[in-house]
Amino acid sequence: MDGQSTRKKLKVDVSTSVEPEGVTGDKGRRNEDVLLGDPNKDYFTPEIMDVWPKILDYVTDAKDALSVMNASPELRELLKKRTASTLLPLVLPILIKQKPLALAPRDVFNCRLVSKQIKAIADDLIANVGDIRSRCIRYDSNSLMNAEVIQEFLDGTRGLTGNPFLGRCCSINLDGVWEGQFHDIMGIFRRFGHELVSANLIIDISISPRQALQTLKLVFGYLPKLERLELWFPHVIELQNYKMELLYFPPMEELRTLTISYRKQYGYYPYRVPPPGNFVVPILKAYGNQLTLLECESLVFRGELRGPLHFYNLLELEVPFILNEAGTSLDGDELSQIFRKMAKFSCPKLEKLLLTGAGMRMTVETFLALNQFRRSLKVLRIDNLDGDLQIFQVDPSTIRKFPTLRRLTLCTVDVGTEWIHVFRVMFPNLEEIWFLSPEANPDLRSRIAVQPPIPDETLGRSYYSSFPKLNAIVWYQHSVSGGTEISSWYIVRKSGVILHKSSTTTTSTM
């Protein structure tokens, strides 16, 4: 193969990295072929062949490796030894979902020994595909939600000394401690808690908040290696005045991600939601400074938060604003109270702030909260720009510049918002604006009326003139039809060129 033909094949289509917020992160977003190197040079001469293995060591994604293998015979030969490990992540999900099953349970478990990547794929499939779950595991180790399942787990792990949890993660309903199962549940944590790196704990605080916190204190003592923790409180009552701030929590030195949720079934709050902040504050004070990611529903900040909360190492903060069962959000005064509390957060390293959900509304205090993070923030997402606040009501003194902000993510419904005139002052160094379809987020589907059209050349020009450093407008559409999810990405360039990529996913269960 000569240098010219090799060059034609060495193209990088980075459009595969253009995906919505929260899916894959901040990879490249250009839907263009990038031609590499000198067209007259042969890149496979003996003198430089030793360099290729070092370059290919950086190609770790299975799809990327497959694309490289298909680029030229020389690259295919260089990756020949990696063919099996490269293709296995792509083939395994297909084989596991075959009916009748193409792999025996022993084969599936052997696949887990290949690599951490294959193990994660196999564990996810075993946990979520019904046929595989029933054939491969005797007990459900990932979801201990009632007395029957807990007993099956205890029976299946009798005499076991190793790790019983697929993926080292588990959801446990702690409501059982009020139903006479305290000994069994604590026994599970005592024997196997040190194996967990991720846990979802469901706890009822409607009986005794003090006793619930004491239970969490005991549980946390058995989770020394925990990295991710989700706390879900499905039943909330009016909490009386009590002091829990001094409660000592045991160290969980590896904990980096914390999620706190009060949602009921279907993702809604109850009609009358009291402020539960007093219950959560001791936990936030105990572990806040070691967190890098915190997702904490806005409801938490309706309670009494005396003094600032410190999150010294926090990089990402998500605050979901969820509708109640009546389909309405908190009123303006309640939202203002929440933003005033957020304005007291100490997060000197915060890079990403996500204000998500249809219940998000703009108030005067919204800008007070945003300004608290303006020196470090790089990514800002606001799912709803509606509200009682009008642009002319904004105090100019509250409009501050965010020198490091590079990406702003909004809902497609807000594409023509007048708030852009404020944002152009606040975000002078903005490089990307993303618009996400409300259909891609269950918490936003109440905003769906008519899907706005893709920004045309005129609208694109207005955005580019408003933000001098803008280099891309990313438009993401999502729809579900007949059991098939259709995702489309459009990139509006400054030149007026609109680039497009689509993908489909079958959502029907097997």
Q: Considering just the CA atoms, what is the radius of gyration of the chain in Å? A: 26
Q: Which residue has the higher pLDDT, 190 or 439?
A: 190
pTM value? 0.76
Residue pointed to by tokens 């007993």? 151
Tell me the average pLDDT across 360-374: 93
Using alpha carbons, select from 257, 211, 261, 209 the residue that is nearest to residue 233.
Answer: 261
Sign of CA dihedral 242, 246, 251, 254: positive
Q: What are 457's two structure tokens?
A: 């050349």
Are the C-beta atoms of 93 and 118 separated by less than 8 Å?
no
Res. 290: pLDDT tops 50? yes
Alpha helices (runs of H) in 237-320, residue ranges in sequence order: 277-287
Reading the block at residue 301, the tokens are: 């900040």
Ramachandran bin of 327, using left for φ above 0, alpha for ψ from -120 to 50, beta for the remaining angles: left
Q: What is the 3-state secondary structure (H, E, C) of 131-200?
A: HHHHHHCCCCCCEECCHHHHHHHHHHCCCCCCCCCHHHEEEEEHHHHHCCCHHHHHHHHHHHHHHCCEEE
Distance (Å, rounded) from C-alpha 196 to C-alpha 163? 8
For residues 356 and 372, give the distance between their C-alpha atoms in angstroms, rounded to a whole number: 18
Reported as type and span, the H/E element at residue 434 is strand 432-436
List, for residues 193-246, the tens digit of each pLDDT value. Answer: 999 999 999 886 665 667 778 888 999 999 999 999 999 876 655 555 555 555
Average pLDDT rounded to a whole number, residues 390-415:
90
Give the residue, 433 or 395, on which the prediction is more confident. Answer: 433
- Please determine, for residue 29, whether its predicted confidence score (pLDDT) is greater than 60: no
Q: Who wins on pLDDT, 19 or 372?
A: 372
Q: Answer with the residue of higher pLDDT: 333 or 227.
A: 227
Closest by CA to 354, choosing from 477, 436, 231, is 436
pLDDT, position 208: 66
Q: For all residues of the chain together, what is the average pLDDT?
A: 76
CA 250 to chain centroid, in Å, comes to 27
Please tell me which residue, 146 or 473, carries the higher pLDDT value.
473
Q: Closest Cα partner for 325 from 406, 262, 379?
A: 262
